[in-house]
């Protein structure tokens, strides 16, 4: 076996590879940019090599620097992770020419499948069903419009070298193509250095289902069943699960057979993923093959018991697979939630910054479900604007899908982050959503269920009980210090709802009698003291965790997707409180405000210009994505405060209307 492997990547995947190498007794080398000098991966690796400035184009994407790092450290092999150089056949070939083993498929397989245009041509020849579309390069916007109208709307505009949800737009009409084609081309050029675009029919109400394949250098290929990745936002996967709630055994076998046949046709010899778009009727069409390890590989590992990084390393070394298809079976259900540095309450815009608090749930067995958290960060680390905004990948496993969802809900409760925006409340909302729990998924799920964006969730009756119990517990701890306070009757106000309660505390429990409802809540196993951000306990025997912080007269409490200010007041104070006038929010309706920190790519309006609702005002680039900012109302431009090339902060006023 290899004695030393260089990891040509960063963040959580670099840490993930290090863990497997350690278990296998293999030394590791990590390369790092200026932005990652103090990263967890650098701390954990046996050796490190500095490779340049923060931009990936000057560090992680420079193949010559990676090769030189291998030579300097004596690394026999290089694991590329995902992204960066992982699907560059030229890099794999360069490694081979230097006598360095590339831990991934052979260059021929990467070339055949790594290019979306060429892979579709190859799949058609191999007899794999493909989505109708234009398989070939597109000259310009006019050509894109012509092709789109020949195929018929809606169509999907995709970067040939794309990945990770970047370089994709769905166009429903001519205007969408005229705006989307140049944006996709620019994203593709910036993110992948390749601006070739193709267009295909967009399947209405589709599901994204992918098959994990694994091959060796002896002609053996197996599939490790499917993952469903239909919960997406802007074509970026957010929640994945294995297996899929859609498939039956017949469809699973058919998809697996096609994936294996395609892999065998290109002599595939590593871990790879064949992606399909599936209809609700279980029809399926080939989308692309990702010739690398996928971000969501942990859910496959959890249901099969295999370590895919280990299998990649063994295959690259020349070992044959130690199992056949008949040896593989699905065990239980696994779900992955991607924890992103983004603000779900502001249309999921990037929220870069420092992790002032980073307290993930405890990994391992939790009596009914298992928690796994793949991360490359620690408390105090910074989420950089130069790379993907992922903080970690939180996974849960249970014997059933319902158990895995319930486990994920609890794990998200136990995940505490401060210092930047993060999408944990949104992920919790999806876990509680009846449609998600029913398994009736589609890639349009987020757009359909949250058309106005994520605004939090109103408290269910169960959530109202938790908020009540948490507020009463904190209130009780506070008034214990006031010996003169003998009152037991209080009013709990949470948002627009209120209820009368009577409190009775013992050393072990707090009984909250809901005086108007003729029932009582019992809070036990309370773990909280003033100043702590998490309050844990059991309400009527069921464990819960809430995030808390003090506010005027009470607390701001978040339970899953619900965040409310909760107060525990005397009846007289509660009566007076209801008479206070509500504070009105500032009027920003005449302003275009930057929704994120980023770079102004273009300012498309000028002083005095008449602008109509829906027109493009400017384009801002952040986290390698181009975001089109549109006018939300008609108006005449009064001031323009930024120009192309300017860096802008979140909430900065860009344009003001008269």
List the chain residues with pLDDT less than 70.
Answer: 163-164, 481-485, 581-583, 585, 623-624
Give 264-302 pLDDT, tens digit per residue: 999 999 999 999 999 898 989 998 999 999 999 999 999
Tell me whether residue 318 is in a domain: no
Burial zone of 162 (CB within 10 Å; 0-12 exposed, 13-18 middle, 19+ buried): buried
> Does 380 share its domain with 355?
yes
Tell me whether residue 253 is in a domain: no
- CATH value at residue 476: 3.30.700.30
Q: Where are the beta strands (DSSP E) in 98-220?
A: 101-102, 133-134, 155-163, 166-171, 197-201, 207-215
- Select from 173, 201, 229 the last residue of a domain: 201
Tell me whether residue 216 is in a domain: no
**Token pair 């903080």 is at which residue?**
391
- CATH value at residue 160: 3.30.1490.20
Q: Where are the beta strands (DSSP E) in 461-613?
A: 489-494, 497-505, 509-514, 519-527, 534-539, 542-551, 554-559, 562-569, 591-593, 598-603, 610-611
pLDDT given at position 484:
58
pLDDT given at position 349:
78
Tell me whether residue 278 is in a domain: no
Tell me whether residue 325 is in a domain: no
Beta-ladder partners of 313:
none
Q: For 130, which DSSP code? A: B
Tell me whether residue 321 is in a domain: no
Q: Phi first, then psi: give them for residue 568, nearest 5 degrees.
A: -115, 110
> Does 15 share its domain with 96?
yes
- Select from 531, 554, 577 the last residue of a domain: 577
- CATH value at residue 395: 3.30.470.20
- Select from 178, 201, 224 the last residue of a domain: 201
> Does 60 share its domain with 140?
no
**Token pair 């109208």 is at which residue?**
149
> Does 423 share its domain with 344?
yes
Q: Which residues are catalytic?
A: 288
Q: 565 and 495 in contact (C-beta within 8 Å)?
A: yes
Range of the domain at 147: 132-201
- The SS3 of residue 227 is strand
- Domain count of the fold of the chain: 5
């Amino acid at each position: 076996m290899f004695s030393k492997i260089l990891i040509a990547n960063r963040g959580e995947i670099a840490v993930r590879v290090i863990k497997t190498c350690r278990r296998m007794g293999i030394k590791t080398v990590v390369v790092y940019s200026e932005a990652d000098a103090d990263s967890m991966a650098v701390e954990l690796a046996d050796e490190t090599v500095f490779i340049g400035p923060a931009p990936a184009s000057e560090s992680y994407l420079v193949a010559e620097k990676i090769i030189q790092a291998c030579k300097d450290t004596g690394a026999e092999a290089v694991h590329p992770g995902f992204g960066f150089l992982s699907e560059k056949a030229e890099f794999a070939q360069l490694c081979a020419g230097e006598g360095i083993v590339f831990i991934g498929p052979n260059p021929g397989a990467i070339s055949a499948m790594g290019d979306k245009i060429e892979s579709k041509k190859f799949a058609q020849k191999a007899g794999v069903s493909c989505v109708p579309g234009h398989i070939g390069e597109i000259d310009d916007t006019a050509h894109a419009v012509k092709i789109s109208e020949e195929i018929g709307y809606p169509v999907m505009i995709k970067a040939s070298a794309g990945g990770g949800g970047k370089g994709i737009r769905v166009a429903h009409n001519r205007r969408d193509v005229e705006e989307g084609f140049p944006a996709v081309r620019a994203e593709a050029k910036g993110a992948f250095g390749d601006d070739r675009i193709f267009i295909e029919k967009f399947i209405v109400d589709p599901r994204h289902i992918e098959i994990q394949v694994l091959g060796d250098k002896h002609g053996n290929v197996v599939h490790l069943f499917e993952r469903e990745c239909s919960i997406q936002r802007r074509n970026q996967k957010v929640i994945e699960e294995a297996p899929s709630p859609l498939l039956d055994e017949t469809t699973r076998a058919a998809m697996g057979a096609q994936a294996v046949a395609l892999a065998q046709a290109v002599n595939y010899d590593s871990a790879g993923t064949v992606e399909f778009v599936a209809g609700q009727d279980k029809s399926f069409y080939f989308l692309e093959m990702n010739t690398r390890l996928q971000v969501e590989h942990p859910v496959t590992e959890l249901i099969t018991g295999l370590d895919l990084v280990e299998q990649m390393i063994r295959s690259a070394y020349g070992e044959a697979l130690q199992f056949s298809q008949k040896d593989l079976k699905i065990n239980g259900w696994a779900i992955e939630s991607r924890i992103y540095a983004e603000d779900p309450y502001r249309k999921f815009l990037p929220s870069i910054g420092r992790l002032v608090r980073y307290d993930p749930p405890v990994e391992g067995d939790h009596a009914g479900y298992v928690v796994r958290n793949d991360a490359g960060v620690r408390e105090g680390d910074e989420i950089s604007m130069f790379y993907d905004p992922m903080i970690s990948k939180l996974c849960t496993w249970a014997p059933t899908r319902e158990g895995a969802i319930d486990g994920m809900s609890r794990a998200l409760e136990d995940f505490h982050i401060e210092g930047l925006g993060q999408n944990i409340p949104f992920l919790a909302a999806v876990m509680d959503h009846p449609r998600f729990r029913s398994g009736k998924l589609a890639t349009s799920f987020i757009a359909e269920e949250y058309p106005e964006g994520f605004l939090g969730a109103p408290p269910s009756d169960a959530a109202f009980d938790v908020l009540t119990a948490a507020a009463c517990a904190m209130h009780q701890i506070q008034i214990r210090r006031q010996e003169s306070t003998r009152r037991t009757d209080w009013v709990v106000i949470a948002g627009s709802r209120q209820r009368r309660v009577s409190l009775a505390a013992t050393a072990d429990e707090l009984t909250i009698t809901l005086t108007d409802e003729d029932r009582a809540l019992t809070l036990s196993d309370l773990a909280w003291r003033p100043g702590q951000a998490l309050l844990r306990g059991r309400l009527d025997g069921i464990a819960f965790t809430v995030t808390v912080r003090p506010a005027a007269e009470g607390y701001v409490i978040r339970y899953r997707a619900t965040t409310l200010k909760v107060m525990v007041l005397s009846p007289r104070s509660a009566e007076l409180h209801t008479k206070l006038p509500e504070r009105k929010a500032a009027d920003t309706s005449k302003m275009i405000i930057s929704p994120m920190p980023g770079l102004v790519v273009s300012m498309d309006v000028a002083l005095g210009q008449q602008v109509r609702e829906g027109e493009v005002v400017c384009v801002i680039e952040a986290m390698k994505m181009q975001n089109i900012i549109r006018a939300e109302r008609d108006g005449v431009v009064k001031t323009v405060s930024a120009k192309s090339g300017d860096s802008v902060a979140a909430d900065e006023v860009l344009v003001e209307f008269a």
